[in-house]
Every structure is written in structure tokens, then in C-alpha cells.
Chain A
Amino acid sequence: MAATVKVMRRPDPGETSYIRATLKGMALTFKHMVNPDKVTLQYPEEQPDLSPRWRGTHRMEVHADGRPKCVACGLCPTICPANCIRLVGGEDDQGNRYPIVYEIDEFRCIFCGMCQEVCPVEAIHVGVHFENAEYTRDRFVYDLDRLMEQDHPTTLLWDPSDPRSE
């Protein structure tokens, strides 16, 4: 793309001044001063409207009997670009695979949402959530129990046939 140059017009003689321009500016700022529509969000009391596609900390979907939906297929640690998922799978008597260890390091996670996209059983999700403060760093490695406890809404996946989620 060619670079474009915006030519600013020099003000004509007689257009410029200090005092009158200052007063004009003060009128403008006064209008904003008395304007009751402020943009401030009084955060802890008022919560921001997050997009349904907001990608925040993860949650693990759970079966009705309390088992995680994860089948330990290993796709999410494979696809994860930040390499933040640790999965050790196991198998029970019926031959069902389940995760023995499932940890996500939320510090390393870049919240790309690929784990959710790749999951064949829709077990792991990124969520619509951002309040993650903790007192120690090790609290940011979420284990399986913690992931299953999360109850915030899950992120809506981007649908190529409906790119604006309409």
C-alpha cells in the first residue's frame, strides 16, 4: 500500500489567537465537565460486559456423576502453543481412558483457546472470566479438581459460517 501524506492546512491570517482560542477550549472542557455521561466503570460494584467469546481461565466439564468429561486423548497438550497443559492419562477396568493428572499453568497459558477447539468431547473450555488474583505463584497451576470446580460460563467458539455470532 502506498504511503499517504495528510497535508494540514495552515490557518489563515486572522484565524489564530491565544486568548480567544483558550476561551473556546475552556468552553469545550466545561461541556465535558458537566456532562453526566462518564466512562468510568465503578469496578467491584459494576462488572464489565464481557464478550461471549472472551477467553479467560479454563474450566473442565463434568459428567452427571462427577467424573471429568476428559478422555485423556492428549490432543490439548499437543496443540497447546504455550505448552502449559500437563496430562497423564489412565485407563479403568472397562477400558475408559481418564486423566490421572491434568494441570494447566495459567501463567504460561496465552488464552488462545485451541485446547477448547481441539477437544473431541468438549471437556476443556476457556471461560468468560478474568478475576484470577492469588497470593502465591503456585496457586496459578490449576489441577483437575480446581478446573472442575470452576463455574463461570464457557467461551463461545468462533464459528466460521457465522463469523459475527449473529
Chain B
Amino acid sequence: MNDLSLTAFVITSSIKVLTVFSVLLASVALMTLVERRLAGFIQDRLGPNRVGPFGILQPAADGIKNILKEETMPGTANRFFFVLAPALAIVPGVMTFAVVPFAAPLPTPWGTVGMVIADIPIGILYILALSSLGVYGLFLAGWASNNKYAFLGGLRSASQMVSYEVALGLSIIPVLMLAGNVTLTEIIWQQQQLGFWYILPLSLAFILFVISAFAETNRLPFDLPEAESELVTGYHTEYSGMKFSMFFIAEYSHILTASALMATLFLGGWSIPFWSGDHLFWHDGMLISGFTAAGEPMAAQGAWWTTLLTFLSFAVKTAFFIGVFMWVRWTLPRFRYDQVMHLGWKVMLPVALAYVMLVAATILVLDQVGVEGFLFGAILTAVSAACTGVFVFVVDSDRLISGSSVSGTDRAVRSPVRQVRRPALEPRAGSGVNP
């Protein structure tokens, strides 16, 4: 995957790990501020703007406050798991980013350095595996606190994340089928080669992925594990100080990774639209920019400014999705628990399954007919657009938020006004005070 010597590889990898880790944590700190300021703007307020210019030092102030705060330890908590849980929550959140490519390969005097920490061939599987581990931190926190609210929050987080992982995995499958690979660098390369970002040919997969990503990161409208109106704050009710802060760092790094994944899987990752200068890919040990008509790979050389531009492109796309995460949070109220489960198992799962089948069939037919290139993407885009239309206007229609004991298709619930006839209250003879 690269032409570096072992020493250069170790050194560049260490630098990349340190840089990405610091940038990740700095972004998480900034996101807490952006979230609060955005919340302010949406609610016609200003948000925190006092600490430093535009409030930029507010996260530092929050961090100092949280470190200096007393750490409480509930008397009945399971000490070992109570301390372990925040670490278990934060580690997968931070580690997942390791396989996300964030820029085009950078040429250095010692060889070309890929701008991804670990370009491992199992890319997406690694992300799915690690993000599933995140549920242990939340669930252990809820269980070890020995608090009924925390426990309920932990239970909800476990069931919710397990349920939506199914839809998440199924919504990624069309991407894998189209790219023919699970490596994220190759998925970007295939999007560049196709000339379509996968958001177009796989629009419904994108919608399903976004919805399940919201549920996986426990963000509104799926933040039932926290649900402050019912569960105090859910699984981290008993936590204080820096341990509490670690759950937040975990949540925000999950958001960051989910946004980076949306950008990578569906918006071409670091690629810049309508420009082929950033087409760079490791193919059989050499960096290529594409194939000639005869199928010969064309050798390519990166440039530092290409790396910089592609990194900016990636940052813009990721920041956009982070913004959407926050925007939705301050728009929607929280779902009820049974609605979350209904949506996950009865809507998302069948739709995702059907869509996987449809995309597979379309790709198979197009391959058999021999359609390639732009036409291939265009036909797939049309098919997906039709599916999205059906999903948005037919499947997602006429769904009434009904009582948990009544199904949404019950006629009695649908009728505009339920007329309940009660016998008129008649004054009983002999009992009243009336003359």
C-alpha cells in the first residue's frame, strides 16, 4: 500500500497517529462549543460568547472545570466497572477514525505517505466492529451505577444500538456492492472513477445510513439512553467530573466519525468534485491516476497542495454533516421508545433489505447488458431516485404517532375526531340539592 521503508513507515505513522488524535480531540472540544452556539442561534439566542473571541476558549474553561471537579463514587456502585465504563465508551469512539482517509496521498522525500492512519483491507468491517463495542461502555455505565435511571438508560442504549446496527449494516451493503471492496480508500477511488458520488446512485442507502447513524450515536431524535425528561440523564446520571466529560467526548467523537463516514461513503470522501487532478490510488504497489483505454495503469505523482486541497474538501464535507447532526438535534423532539423500535425493525429493516435486493439486481442486469461508466451511474441514480420517492412519499406517509397500544393503521385513530358518546349526566331524583 506504500513505497516507504520500514523506518519511514513507523515514523510517519507515529506522526499521523499523534496528529489525528490531537486534531480529533480538538475538534471534539470545538464541537461542544459549536453545538451550544448553534443551539443558541436556532433558539434566537447568542450562546456562550464570553470566554475568548466568539467564546472559542469555552471548551478549555469547561475542561478545566471538569478536571477540577469532585469525582463522586456512588456507595452501591460496582467500583471496577463504574471506573471502566467511561474508558470503554471513549476508546472505540476515538479509535474508529483510524481507517478513515482524510486527504490524498502526500509525496515526501522518503516516499508517498497515504493520508490515513491504517489503510487496512477490512476498512468498514473494522468500523462496524468497533462502533458496536461502544455500546458496552454505555451499558456498563448504566449497570455499574446501581441506579434505576442509569440502568434504564443503559438498557435502552443497548437495545437501540443493537437494533439500528442491523439497518446501518444493511444500508452500507449497496455501497460495498457498488465499490466491490470494503476498503475506504478504494471506495473513494471507485466514486472518482464512476464520476458519481454514491449519494446519487445510492440515495436511499444514504437516507437509511443517516437515520441509523443518528440512532447509533444516540443523538436526538434517538437520544433515549439520555432522555433527561424521563431518566434524569440516563446512563451517566451518577457520573461527575472528568468521567462525565469522557462520555461526552465519546459521543462527539462518534458524531465526528459518523460524519466522516457519511462524507467518505456517500460524498466521495476527500475527492474534489469536477476535478480529476486528485485521482490518486495505490494499485499494485504504484500510485496511479487512472487507467488508459487499453487498461494500462497511468502512474501519478501527488503534490502537497493536492493533499491540502483534498483535506479541505474532506473537512468541509465532514463539518457539513456535523452541522446537520446538531441542526436536527435542535429541531426534533425525542421519539417514544416503542416508536424507535417500530421504526428500526418494521420500517428501516425491510426497506433496507428490499433496497439491497433491488440494487443488487440492477447492478447484475447492468453488468450483464454491459453498461458502463456514466450511463451505469445514471441508470442506478434513476432507480434509486424512484426508490427514494417511494420511501419518502409512500412508505413514510400516513404514519401517525399513535398511542403505544394502538397500531398506526387503526381506523379509529385515523378518524379526524373521535366522538365518545357518554350518557348525559341526569340529576338523580332525591339526591340533588335542587329544589
Contacts and interface: CB of A to CB of B under 8 A. Distances in A.
A51 B35 CA distance: 35
A10 B41 contact: no
B207 interface: yes
| Most chain A beta-carbon contacts within 10 A, residue among B330, B397, B399, B400 | B397
B43 interface: yes
Q: How large is the interface on B (under 10, 10 to 19, 20 to 34, 35 or more residues)?
A: 20 to 34
Interface in A24-41: 25-26, 28-30, 32-35, 37-40
Contacts of A7: 417
| Most chain B beta-carbon contacts within 10 A, residue among A18, A19, A33 | A18
B400 A10 contact: yes
B327 A26 contact: yes
B284 interface: no
Contact of B44 (A17, A18, A19, A32): A32
Interface in B110-162: none
A14 interface: yes
B414 A10 contact: yes
Nearest to A39: B44
Given A7-B417, A10-B415, A16 B400 contact: yes
Given A13-B414, A20-B392, A26-B331, A32 B400 contact: no
Q: How large is the interface on A (under 10, 10 to 19, 20 to 34, 35 or more residues)?
A: 20 to 34
Contacts of B414: 10, 13
B417 A9 contact: yes
Interface string B13-57: 000000000000000000000000010111111100000000000
A11 B414 CA distance: 8
18 contacts: A10-B414, A10-B416, A12-B416, A14-B398, A15-B398, A16-B399, A16-B400, A18-B396, A19-B207, A20-B392, A20-B396, A22-B332, A26-B327, A29-B327, A32-B44, A33-B42, A40-B40, A42-B46
Interface of A: 7, 9-20, 22, 25-26, 28-30, 32-35, 37-40, 42
Interface of B: 38, 40-46, 207, 327-328, 330-332, 343, 391-393, 396-401, 413-418
